[in-house]
Structure 1
């Protein structure tokens, strides 16, 4: 297989899958089930995951693979995020098969958009050229803008999509200006070339401004405070399974880009950008947890929770390079498992029309849905950081790395915020079990749990538990990825698209 195709094999499979879904959708008569399209998208996502695993075997055998004139690099780091994103998309699609059955006739568009969005996210994680990262970011963003407003008949959905589009475009402008300033300071947009040129640049102030602009642009994408204003409204209006994917997979891709950029391209400016990271971490943890304390809507509560978790993850960036990458990757995987699981349970409890929205609507839910309520409680405990869950080890590795690197105050602030988070998570948990049912309250009628959705929720629960009691497998993968993610600085040689000129010959 040509090297160029091999480097983008998972993305190519997802793109072809999305196109096939779009071509097949008009062939299904109106009113007929769109489940076959969902199964097609699931098969394509599985194939993409296997392709990423195949890439991992090649990387382990022969080292990183470069393609498309050294703008794409496949290493253990990018493969880790490929596997993570494909897993998130897979469980989301499984849980969505029956979610869109009946009330909507445009489910085929949903499955195609999910595939295209995942393509952009994967493209971001393997790009080592900032312009290529920008292309992947736009592919991912356009898909999620539409998915956020997928429930067309509701005003909150339209508000969600429009607000996400406007503020997302604003964030993209910051990122694009950061790329332009990087080119102005170093003469290149390649991460390797930037790393080699930043130390000798004649305009260090311009380089610092470029780094700040890139961090701000990605800060919007990961919903870090103070760039979080879009998050609660978008999460409230978007469909629950979309929120589960949107709160994890795009964040994973953005954090992957941030890790590559800060630790590969700008390590010599660490003393400057680490101050910005610390400020964003403290603001995100504090604003996220305090904002969640005042919420009664469950999706808004989890939206502020995601802001706080972005702050916890940013704490890992203050460690030394190897520890930072390992802790950030592990925390991303743990947060993806528990947060996607929580939203998938909420999807099953509330349905397409989201009959259960506020904490009061979940009162006594364990009486009708004991299994789902128990799983939701388990995911909430993991979000708190209770031992033997993925959330506990994620915070442990992030905070311990910060302490070992001298950022004790930042770790203490993180621990204090984790204590504050207990109040709103346990308030929802108490509504499920401890609070008595009011006489005028009406419990939701049981909604049958489909087998694919059950498999998706079980997979998220098993992953959350496994990351809490057997974290070594994931840690071994991310630790192997770290040296290849942070190689010695090397600039890819300039590659011309023209054939070399023939040697000059002299006529005797």
Structure 2
């Protein structure tokens, strides 16, 4: 097999599947179900995941003149993105039934968005990262406003597009300045060029602009203002996707850029990441305390979790990369699972929006309430869940690097988060004071949605009680990234990694 084909095998599979769905959708009669196209998208996603696992056996693969690098690091995020997309598609099969006339476009856009996210994680050339970022962003801009009859959905899409365009401009200007200061846009060449650059201030400005652009994509404070409104207006399954998969891809890019592209500037960017992490955790949790709308509450929660994850970036390279990879997987499992439950309860019209609308859910749908409660406990960080081990791993890495105060602030914010998560959990098991008719029309959970919920719940549980497999792959990802840069490898020989 050609190295170029092998390097982009998952992306090729997803692209061909998405194109076939787009060609087949207009051929189906108006009013006929689009579920077969959804099942085709699911099969394509499974094939892409298997292709990513297949790539793992080839070690490091370079393609397209060295702009694409497939290794354990990129395979980790390819598998994670494939899993998120799979759950999203399973939970969406019945969501648009009878409402959207072009549901096939939704399935194709989901695959095209995944192509961009995967391309971001395996690119070692900033211009290729930009291409992947645009492919991912354009798909999610459209999907955010897919409920065309809802004014809030249109508002969500427009806000996301406008602010996303500004963030993309920052990222692109950062790439241009990085080229001006180092003479290259390849991440490894940038690392070498920093030692001889005559304009270190320009390189520092380039890094700041890149961090701003990526900070928007991961909804980190103070670049988070779009998040609550977009999450509130977008369809629930789309929010589950866009709160996890694009953020995972953006965090992967940030890991490569900081630890591989700008390792010599760590004393400068570590302080900036420290501040962004504290702002994200604090603003996210305090903002969530004020929310009664469940989707807005989880939007602020995602801002806080971006802060928790950024704590890992202040640790030693091997510790930071491994803990960030693991936390990304744990957060994806519990958050996409929570939004899958919200999708089943609210439906296309989103009948249940506020915390009060969820009151007494356990009396009518005890299984859904139990699953949602489990995801909420994991988001808090209760032991024996993926959320607990993810936070433990991240804060341990910060302590190992000497960032005691950052870990303390993170723990205090985790305590604050208990209030709004437990408020929703208490509502699930409370008896409503008045008749709550919103829960009477909750449809039975379909088999695909049940598979998605089971998958996310089991993943969240296993990441808390048996994390060794994922932890091993995360550690391997960190080792590959660190070993490919001798200066970092030499620095890490004096430290032991958190296992």
Aligning the two structures, in what range does the TM-score lie when normalised by the shorter sequence?
A: over 0.9
Farther off after superposition, 47-56 or 436-445: 436-445
* TM-score of the aligned structures, taking structure 2 as reference length: 0.96
Q: Deviations over 1:290-332 (max 9, x none)?
A: 0000000000000000000000000011110000000000000
Retained in 2: the 8 A contact 1:365–1:443? no
Count of residue correspondences: 485
Which residue of structure 1 aligns with residue 493 of structure 2?
none
Is 1:321 the counterpart of 2:323? The answer is no
Which residue of structure 2 aligns with residue 5 of structure 1?
5
Retained in 2: the 8 A contact 1:222–1:251? yes
Give the greater-gyration-radius structure (CA): 1
Which residue of structure 2 aligns with residue 169 of structure 1?
165
Distance 2:481 2:250 in 1: 15
Structure 2 counterpart SS, 1:486: helix
Paired residue for 1:183, among 161, 172, 179? 179
Structure 2 counterpart SS, 1:73: strand
Q: 1:339-378 alignment to 2 at 5 Å?
A: 339-378=335-374
Distance 2:108 2:162 in 1: 23
Q: Deviations over 1:347-398 (max 9, x none)?
A: 0011110000000000101111100000000000000000000000000010
Which residue of structure 1 aligns with residue 467 of structure 2?
471
Distance 1:404 1:51 in 2: 36
Which residue of structure 2 aligns with residue 437 of structure 1?
432
| 1:489 Cα offset (Å) | 4.0
Structure 2 counterpart SS, 1:58: coil
Retained in 1: the 8 A contact 2:144–2:235? yes
Paired residue for 1:269, among 256, 265, 268? 265
Farther off after superposition, 338-347 or 477-486: 477-486
| 1:178 Cα offset (Å) | 0.4
Q: 1:87-236 alignment to 2 at 5 Å?
A: 87-236=83-232
| 1:425 Cα offset (Å) | 0.2
Q: Deviations over 1:255-298 (max 9, x none)?
A: 00000000001000000000110010000000000000000000
Distance 1:441 1:2 in 2: 60
Structure 1 alignment gaps of length 5 or more: 491-508
CA RMSD in angstroms comes to 0.8
Which residue of structure 2 aligns with residue 55 of structure 1?
55
Retained in 2: the 8 A contact 1:364–1:443? no
| 1:485 Cα offset (Å) | 1.6
Retained in 2: the 8 A contact 1:21–1:112? yes
Is 1:244 the counterpart of 2:240? The answer is yes
Runs of 4+ in 1 over 4 A off after TM superposition: none
| 1:486 Cα offset (Å) | 2.5
| 1:443 Cα offset (Å) | 4.6
Distance 1:436 1:450 in 2: 26
Is 1:293 the counterpart of 2:289? The answer is yes
| 1:480 Cα offset (Å) | 1.3
* TM-score of the aligned structures, taking structure 1 as reference length: 0.95
Distance 1:96 1:441 in 2: 26
Distance 1:224 1:100 in 2: 31
Retained in 2: the 8 A contact 1:11–1:122? yes
Paired residue for 1:381, among 377, 380, 386? 377
Q: Deviations over 1:136-170 (max 9, x none)?
A: 00000000000000000000000000000000000
Distance 1:219 1:437 in 2: 40
Distance 2:334 2:257 in 1: 27
Structure 2 alignment gaps of length 5 or more: 487-499
Distance 1:24 1:442 in 2: 40
Is 1:460 the counterpart of 2:456? The answer is yes
Which residue of structure 2 aligns with residue 46 of structure 1?
46
| 1:200 Cα offset (Å) | 1.5
Structure 1 counterpart SS, 2:5: helix
Retained in 2: the 8 A contact 1:196–1:489? no
Structure 2 counterpart SS, 1:387: coil
Paired residue for 1:425, among 413, 421, 426? 421
Distance 1:372 1:436 in 2: 16
Distance 1:56 1:314 in 2: 27
Q: 1:387-398 alignment to 2 at 5 Å?
A: 387-398=383-394
Distance 2:321 2:228 in 1: 28
Retained in 1: the 8 A contact 2:351–2:438? no
| 1:104 Cα offset (Å) | 1.6
